[in-house]
Structure formats: C-alpha cells, structure tokens
Amino acid sequence: MNYLTIKLACGAIATIGLYTMLYRENKVYRVFEHMFLGLASGYSVVAIWTDVLKSSWWDKMVGSATSTGEPATMGFWPYALLLPIGLMGYFVFSKKHNWVSRIPIGILIGLYSGQQFQAWLDQYGGQIVGTFKPVVPNNWTFFAPYVDPQNLQQVSDVKHTVYISTALSNLIFVFTVLSVVSYFIFSFEPKPGSRISRFWTGMASSGRWLLMIGFGALFGTTVMMRFALLIDRMYYVWVEFLYKAILHH
C-alpha cells in the first residue's frame, strides 16, 4: 500500500466518520470533528501569516530588497506600533488585566465605525440607484435581438434599449422592491378603512409573499449546496478511494 492509497484511505475514513452524525450524536463523529477543528486551526494560523500579516503588515514595515540586496521599497516603521496593540487582545485570557483587551477592541470599533459610512454607500448606493429601472418600452419588439458580443456598438445599443420583455421584467422588479419595502414600514399606520389603508395592506401582503418566495429560493439553493457537497464526498469515497485506489491499484 503506497502513500497515495494511505492518504485516500484517511480521507475516506474521516468523511464516513463525519457523516455518522446523520445517524445520531456519537463518539466517532466527535473524534473526527476535533481532528478537523485542530487541522483547521493550524491551517488558519499559517494562512493568516502568509496571506494577511506578511503582505499587509510585515512586508510594509520592513520593506523589500532586490536580488542584489538593494532596497526595492522602503519600510514604514510606524507599522510596528500595530504589534503591541494586537498583543493587547490576548489579555482577554487574564482575569486581573482583562481590561487591557478592551483597548484594541475600542480602536477597531472606532476605525470600523468611521469606515462604515463609506462602506455602506459603496455597498448599497449602487443597489439603490439600480432600483430605478425604466418600465415603459422605447422599442416595441418583445425580445432583444441577438447581437455579436464582439460588436461593442450593437451591445451598447441593445443595453440602452427598453424592449417589451425588459420593461415587464423591470416592472416586476420595481413592484417587488416597493411592496417589500412597504412591508417593513412601521412608523405610521393609515386610517383603518380608507383607500390608502387598503392599498397599503395589499402592498404589504404582496411584500410578505414575495419575501417568502425569495427565502424559499434561498433555502432551496442551500439544500442544493449541501447535496453538491455530499455528492463530492461520496465521489471521493466510492470512486477516488474504493474504485481507483483499492480495486484498480
């Protein structure tokens, strides 16, 4: 039995051990769960240094040099001040000096809060602008014609033309946005029995149903992701391990 077969066997045993959770909580699952968490923790430590700290902190602090030893980029020593701030977070394990760990937390919350104004606009500003869609067609062809993707002028013309199908899609989108937003407005309530009240109630009810449809679609996507993961692991056990490594070894 070669090294590859042993490696595949370990992966298959770990996969089966983790899926024993589908039967019930058991010690086999616990063993492999702790093994997975330990490996993930060790991998995370290395990944944090290689992918985050080294490039975003260490290299910027010490600079870099060319193959001849000459400096390529100058270091920026104030980055060293981040080290004691980060180490303060580990005082959370001290009962006596636990308060020290709140200093970096306060610094991070302050920086994060200030950045969130711009981050909110960057994330949601485009979405808000994107809800303003034309609902009246300017071309009475039902579907957009096929154009050559290489012809940028034709692509631009089709993109800026509102066909009947495009207008219908935009109308459904705008109605969905307005009805869902009306469902979450609780600041005031129209006078019961009035036309505005009946209209508002209808919009809110439509928003609730559309939200349920959206959440159902998200749940279905989640289920399909779980099945995709299951199929991948079963392919590993039955094909990669049993069929290729054992039967055809």
- Residue 22, Cβ density class (10 Å: 0-12 exposed, 13-18 middle, ≥19 buried): exposed
Tens digits of residue pLDDT in 135-163:
899 888 888 888 888 888 888 888 888 89
% of the chain with per-residue pLDDT over 90: 21
> What's the whole-number mean pLDDT along residues 195-212?
88
- Helix H segments across the chain? 3-19, 27-47, 59-62, 82-88, 102-130, 152-159, 164-183, 195-235
Task: Please say whether the beta carbons of 33 and 18 come within 8 A.
Answer: yes
* Residue 110 pLDDT: 87
Work out the pLDDT band at 237, boundaries 50, 70, 90. confident
Judged against a pLDDT cut of 80, whether residue 55 lies above it is answered with yes
Tens digits of residue pLDDT in 61-100:
888 776 666 667 777 888 888 888 888 988 988 888 899 9
Q: How far is CA 13 from CA 6, 21, 28, in A?
A: 10, 14, 10
Average pLDDT, the chain: 86
Tens digits of residue pLDDT in 8-25:
888 888 888 888 888 888
Sequence spans of domains, the chain: 1-75
Q: How far apart are CA 194 and CA 103, in angstroms?
A: 55
Q: How far apart are CA 102 and CA 7, in angstroms?
A: 44
% of the chain with per-residue pLDDT over 70: 95
Which SS3 state, helix, strand or coil, does residue 138 take? Answer: coil
Name, in order, each residue with C-beta under 8 angstroms of 66's C-beta and a sequence gap of 6 or more: 72
Judged against a pLDDT cut of 80, whether residue 187 lies above it is answered with no
Q: How far apart are CA 175 and CA 216, in angstroms?
A: 19
Work out the pLDDT band at 42, boundaries 50, 70, 90. very high
Name residue 104's amino acid: P
Task: Please say whether the beta carbons of 101 and 124 come within 8 A.
Answer: no
Judged against a pLDDT cut of 80, whether residue 232 lies above it is answered with yes
Tens digits of residue pLDDT in 240-249:
888 777 776 6
Q: How far apart are CA 211 and CA 217, in angstroms?
A: 10
Which SS3 state, helix, strand or coil, does residue 113 take? Answer: helix
Judged against a pLDDT cut of 80, whether residue 182 lies above it is answered with yes
Specify the pTM.
0.53
* Residue 211 pLDDT: 92
Judged against a pLDDT cut of 80, whether residue 2 lies above it is answered with no
* Residue 145 pLDDT: 85
Work out the pLDDT band at 170, boundaries 50, 70, 90. very high
Task: Please say whether the beta carbons of 183 and 204 come within 8 A.
Answer: yes
